[in-house]
Amino acid sequence: MNAKEIVKAESAVTPSKFGLTDILLITVALVWGLNAALVKASLAELAPLPYNALRFILAASLAYLLLRILEPGSRLQRRDIPIFIGLGLLSHTLYQFFFIQGISLTSAGNASLLMATSPMWVSLLSALVGSDHLRPRNWLGLLLSFFGILLVTVGSGKEIGFAANTSRGDLLIVAGTLVWAVYTIMSKPVLKRYSPLQLLAYTIVPGTLGLFILAFPALRQQDLSSVSLQAWGRLVYSGILAIVVGYVIWNTGVQKLGAAKTALYNNLSPLMAMLSGWLLLDEQITPPQLGGAGLIIFGLYIARKK
């Protein structure tokens, strides 16, 4: 997929008026914000690679079933098979491998902060290939949101420190954000010809196969009988809501708003995680976190304002 195809696809992006797509992306930010904490808890009972393989087997089965029910006449054109295999390996194998391994090898604070750079990578890469032309207010909104996430992370008491013992995990998280940025940009031209559900279903199969191959040695050693019902419940939540529902809505955002504007909503996930902790775990919200929440929302408003 060359730069000209991406430019042509991005030129047809809909106006930046706030609407249903934005509301759905906010919902996904809530789902992903809670998912990060659930994944961390699940890794206490399941090794990272087996956990990822199992939740993606569930997600792939559900995505393909939904496609056959909701879009029974859909077909993948032969010439597009290499594109979908590549996108599947990017978004479902490489990204998930980097994400799950990285989050298990670094602190929660480092992971939150590094993952918050994802919209910046999407915007920078979009500008490099000429697929999206961001105005100064868009960059200002991105920076405000990033500093808001920094305040939310520091205010929560999570440790932030880039040292030798977390460097491997930190690098994996950065690699994951770069892979996610490339996938987000490359998926836009494909969404001109395929629906968001088709993009998920046709990419998740090769992606899950790649994850299963990576996880097979660890799966053989994993004692599944000792895993609690709570951990299985968290895995089901992650597989159904964070992957199937989340990816379909994310793909819809890329299709309707473009890669850079959709990526902005990634910065709401730490805010949603903070609210989830307050509502579900009785965690206290500190003044720095409130200030950070305000910066995140204000930054998103500036960046999305027409």
Rounded Cα distance between 259 and 246, Å, is 15
**pLDDT at position 123:** 74
SS3 at position 287: helix
- Name the more confident of 24 and 158: 24
Rounded Cα distance between 155 and 1, Å, is 42
Record the tokens describing residue 26, joined without a space.
């906010």
SS3 at position 306: coil
- 95-105 pLDDT tens trace: 988 888 887 77
Report the chain's mean pLDDT, rounded to a whole number: 80
Instruction: Look at residues 95, 268, 59 and name the one whose alpha carbon lies nearest to residue 174.
Output: 95
- Name the more confident of 128 and 20: 20
- What residues does each domain of the chain span? 3-10+17-304
Backbone angles phi, psi at 122, to 5 degrees: -60, -45
Q: Quote the pTM value.
A: 0.78
Q: 131 with 7: CB under 8 angstroms?
A: yes
Rounded Cα distance between 207 and 203, Å, is 6
Rounded Cα distance between 90 and 258, Å, is 19
- 240-275 pLDDT tens trace: 999 999 999 989 988 888 877 787 787 777 777 677
Per-residue pLDDT averaged across 182-208, rounded? 91
- Name the more confident of 61 and 10: 61
